Amino acid sequence: MSTRRIVPIALVLAYYGAYIAVMTPPTVSMALRVVDVVGADRKVSVLGTVLSVGALAGAVASPLLGRLSDRTTLGFGKRRSWLVIGPVLGFVGLALIGFGDGVALLIVGWVLAQAGWSGTLMVCQAILPEHVPDTMRGRISGLMGAGMPIGMVGGTLTVSLTASSPALMLLVPGLIGVAAAALLVGVVPDSPADKASLPHLGPKELLQTFYVNPRRYPAYSWAFLSRFLMFSGVFIILTYQTYIVSDRIGYTADATANKVFQSTLVMVAGSIAASVLFGSLGDRTGRLKPFLRTGAAAAAAGLLVLTIDDSFGIFLAGMLIVGIAQGGSLADDLPMITRVLPDPHDAAQELGVYNLGLVLPQMLIPLYGPVLIGSDDNYPLLFTVGAVCSAAAAFTLVGVRGIK
């Protein structure tokens, strides 16, 4: 098989592997580990603290490691080097979560895991415009768009099979991520950055790693805002899924992991179908914003469905709609941003900043979520706030000029 064909396949698999590793803790295993460590009374507040601090680490690591990747002059290659460093760092973090017996170790482990796997995902995204032809980019991005839900279902399946061992329910997803990254390392062509052409990197330039001027690059900035708002809705479900199933719907601790797996599977089915369909339509029509608006509207609708009642059937219906929204949005999201990157030579750094649109909701939701939920388990209010955010994402796309 030619390199032109094998690299996209390996890229998709590496993306899936990294997402299986990084999505397992926030989807189910971290919630279970928090209960093991601090008990049921403090679980919501402690989970919020752990996830928020880890998300902050991901927010810092993604653009920073992206800039370092763009500037890496090692002979092994500027992308392949970080396809080794990122997974190793992420695996160590997952091991700390699995073996840790205190909140501090859970936080340190999640910081390392978020940093390592966020860096891995960033490198994969940079490889997309560098090694996938534009005529295939929508389809490959559509398959990559299913990475998050596949990571969720892969993670919940792994946890359901290894729930008796706190270590294995973290280590097995990590090993999957490491193996998938190793496959991409073995096939992707790569070279070091040209040291002579690299601009100076001082403290000022380092701080600019985390910032793209919205006045100078308005299309990029509006796309970022749309992504942030869209996933401020979607990540509400991903953050609190375990507690929604156990506390709001009322399943026992023994049944929760299996029910979370079932709901995640439903979400993934919708996400994969929408990813492939929307990605293909984006390639075929050259139009991206209509599909992104459809995804935002679907996310809002799915969240509102969840407010109807607390039955598991309604929960599954909402998860299916949100899955369709998530997959459809991610399918055309990356092709859109690659068309409006400020400087393609700094693709990894700029995509790292764009990743903050996914990371910041993960950091903020655990902070305001407990306030909205309160002591009365007021999840409908939280769902409504998420629906408003996702709906607003459709309107902010008007600022992304030059994209059909």
Query: What was the pLDDT predicted at 311?
Result: 87
Distance CA 165, CA 180 (A): 23
Q: Give the other-Cβ count within 10 Å of 193's Cβ.
A: 18
Q: Can you tell me the distance from the alpha carbon of 171 to that of 113, in angstroms, rounded to the nearest whole number?
A: 11
Q: What is the 3-state secondary structure (H, E, C) of 264-309?
A: HHHHHHHHHHHHHHHHHHHHHHCCCHHHHHHHHHHHHHHHHHCCCC
> Where along the chain do its domains lie?
3-192+204-399
Q: Helices 218-243 and 253-285 sit at what angle, rounded to 10 degrees?
A: 160
Q: What are the structure tokens assigned to 132, written together?
A: 């996938």
Q: What is the largest CA-CA distance in the chain?
A: 62
C-alpha to C-alpha distance for 248 and 257, rounded to whole angstroms: 15
**Residue 364: predicted pLDDT:** 84
pLDDT (tens digit, 0 to 9) for every residue of the chain, 404 residues total?
555 678 888 999 999 999 999 988 877 788 888 888 887 778 777 887 888 888 788 778 878 887 888 888 888 888 899 999 999 999 999 999 988 888 889 999 999 998 899 889 888 988 888 888 777 777 787 788 777 778 877 887 888 788 778 888 899 999 999 999 999 999 998 888 788 777 777 777 667 677 778 888 888 899 999 999 999 998 888 788 888 888 888 777 677 777 887 888 888 888 888 888 887 887 787 788 888 999 999 999 999 998 988 888 999 999 999 989 988 888 888 788 888 888 776 777 787 788 888 878 877 888 888 888 877 778 889 999 999 999 999 999 888 876 54
* Model pLDDT, residue 29: 81
CATH class given for the domain over 3-192+204-399: mainly alpha
The answer to whether 144 and 128 have CB atoms below 8 angstroms apart is: yes
Please report the pLDDT score of residue 3 as a whole number: 59
Q: Could you tell me if 77 and 192 are in contact, meaning their C-beta atoms sit under 8 angstroms apart?
A: yes
Contact status, residue 117 vs residue 177, Cβ threshold 8 Å: yes
* pLDDT score of 4: 67
